[in-house]
Amino acid sequence: MRVIPPSELIINADGSVFHLHLKPGQLSDKIILVGDPERVSSVASRFDSIECEVSNREFHSITGYFQGKRISVVSHGIGTDNIDIVLNELDALVNIDFTSRTVKEIFTQLTLVRIGTSGGLQHFVPVGTYVAAERSIGFDGVLYFYANNKNTRDVAFEEELLSQLDWKISEIRPYVVAADKSLIEQITSNDILKGVTIAANGFYGPQGRELRLPLADPELNKKIELFNYNGAQITNFEMESSSLAGLSAMMGHRAMTVCCIIAGRVDKKMNTDYKESLPILIDKVLNRI
């Protein structure tokens, strides 16, 4: 049996995992992920009781009980690279024995729902809409560093994407992954739209925002708006859903992302007071997870 060396799985002196500072046993198998560390407290304010709270850097975690359900809320910061850190450490906490540094014989499956904010890319996805990423398009390259990633990806969708977008950024190949179908059905209803979400690897250029630097493909967002594959249109931009869905599927976990649309990229509208829009979505997820 492979023993994972200290340089690969870093365990702090107190027995906690390196970045999250959580210890085995402090994590529920039901996890709500949020980007903002302060949003962890907002979600946990609805708990009936708090079991533990841990903070390190942008990673803030609270485990407690909501209506009899043990739930953990964990912040991941911004970007798919942070998801790589958080998801690997969450998986390690339940599926690796920290004493022997070996993979446990009995697998523990996690259920992860990311609650985020997003920019809408269609007129039918106005500001205030809730969108679940039934599929995610990764503009990042995280998944490509893991073996057998092709088994998780929708290669046919990827090929159509490259063709319709006349993809000009040859250094990056977008990948397409699906969220866990059973979890999508569990969390969504007629009040949450099922969509196709792009996880961009940046906020400005990768999402078509032009400030001082010119864009490699100024027409990319327009082509994204027009994309249609078997009736599927691209609904929104955010920055984490692809690596969350892809890595979770490869690990055997159930995961999805649901976002509140706070920016209308088509009509150029922006809701900077989006924090008023999130409580309703948080309540929906807490009641359904």
pLDDT of res. 277? 76
Running DSSP on this structure, what letter comes out for residue 289?
-
- Least Cα distance to 101 among 192, 24, 187, 206 occurs for 24
Q: Hey, what are 14's tokens? A: 């107190």
Segments of the chain with pLDDT less than 50: none
Q: What is the pLDDT of residues 141-150, one digit of tens each?
A: 999 999 999 9
pLDDT of res. 272? 56
Instruction: Give the DSSP H/E element, type plus range, for residue 53.
Output: strand 49-56
Q: Distance (Å, rounded) from C-alpha 180 to C-alpha 178?
A: 7
pLDDT of res. 268? 59
pLDDT of res. 269? 59
What's the whole-model pTM score? 0.95
Instruction: State the CB neighbour count (10 A cutoff) for residue 241.
Output: 31
Running DSSP on this structure, what letter comes out for residue 222?
H
pLDDT of res. 263? 81
pLDDT of res. 271? 55
CB 143 within 8 A of CB 175: yes
Q: Distance (Å, rounded) from C-alpha 240 to C-alpha 235?
A: 15
Q: Hey, what are 25's tokens? A: 């046993």
pLDDT of res. 275? 61
- Least Cα distance to 243 among 129, 94, 168, 133 occurs for 133
Q: What is the pLDDT of residues 159-190, one digit of tens each?
A: 999 999 999 999 999 999 999 999 999 999 99
Q: Distance (Å, rounded) from C-alpha 223 to C-alpha 97?
A: 48
Q: Distance (Å, rounded) from C-alpha 73 to C-alpha 182?
A: 21
Q: Hey, what are 93's tokens? A: 């906490």
pLDDT of res. 239? 97
